[in-house]
Structure 1
């Protein structure tokens, strides 16, 4: 699959996996829309890319700003071919100590805002009859990991939304990909929230020694090109956990087959 002259819109694009995906897609000829909260860091990423870029800074929790960015992104060039819901925040705290405000914040950023962004873009993609939606979940979206109950809840939920959306769109020409990274060498741990909602401010050795973001991005883009629906990006025990909980391709085909056979039309008629 060629990505030349395609347009990829990436949220959480100022650093880490998001910035690496921008560089990888741009190296393959794609034009890039960059979104995140830090306009200066987004501009630095844009300056490093060899193709055309559009910087649209906003906080994913600001739905009005997100809708305004969607209007601008879809009007740029020929529209959005690839959308990556990558913005997110993690956690490092036992459930018994964690304030409900932390749960609400993480679920709003990692789940609700990602759904809202995809929902805003769906009319554009369905009207065109093409497009790719990537949802950056986690191995923690497949396996419950201690000290990350809020993060696991949000990332499991994101996979559930993506899987159901994939089935609904299976006859539309729009592909849906779920990405489950393990430890990637980013600031995810340093930016994670403590039990009281404060920022942790330090990293973990397992994260610091994780997969380099550029390598993770190559794996992801190669897998998208290969039409993989569920993409595991991990090593060692994390890879083993992800593979153990991988959704069987036959099951994904079965659900898509239900839609092809008129499942949605029958449900709507019965209601």
Structure 2
């Protein structure tokens, strides 16, 4: 585990020691209760951080700045991939399992196997190259920050498109995160097919509206411990997350490159 205080130095050190190309991996949407989880991997040219002056953690950039950096990263990247994991997979296997699996899929979707992989915060087993997690990697490693921007912009655009299909929820504003307005919309309308029905707030709204999930759901610990979530009311294929799906998910590979 590496602390994120190296200010772009780690990637350069690996490249100089012949351990490149170095791929950075990051996600967007882990904390949302609606919409997909998006994971990206990115390989930059050595020294390209200097040619991307706005590059940093996507969460601290404005939307316009993210779009500018996104375009520059797509233009300059040696290689990149973006993996979109729908809410149904998150509901079945759990967010942490799918976050790790998404990172495996993103690296596997690169055209060439990297020499080294840097991940943002989480240790990931099963990658096709040596790897190390970097705490706050999206602020410390250029290729991780680039992956952060690719994932965030892709997901924001997906959520804006979903707003056109489900305008009641305000996905174009909060992007599926649990804001006060989003909670009010859930209370009023109940969950949509693109919500994460395994999450406590969504499961509670589903039970209140007497609607059942459109796909199999393994409830989160928070949902199971919430007395306002009657499991029987959510349908016949709702399980609990004492049943681990990690083994099944670890065998899964795939994903499409977005370019």
TM-score bracket for the superposition, by shorter chain length: under 0.3
Which structure carries more relative contact order (alpha carbon 8 Å, separation 6+)?
2
Query: Whose helix proportion is higher, 1 or 2?
Result: 1
What is the TM-score of this pair, normalised by structure 1? 0.25
Structure showing greater Rg? 2
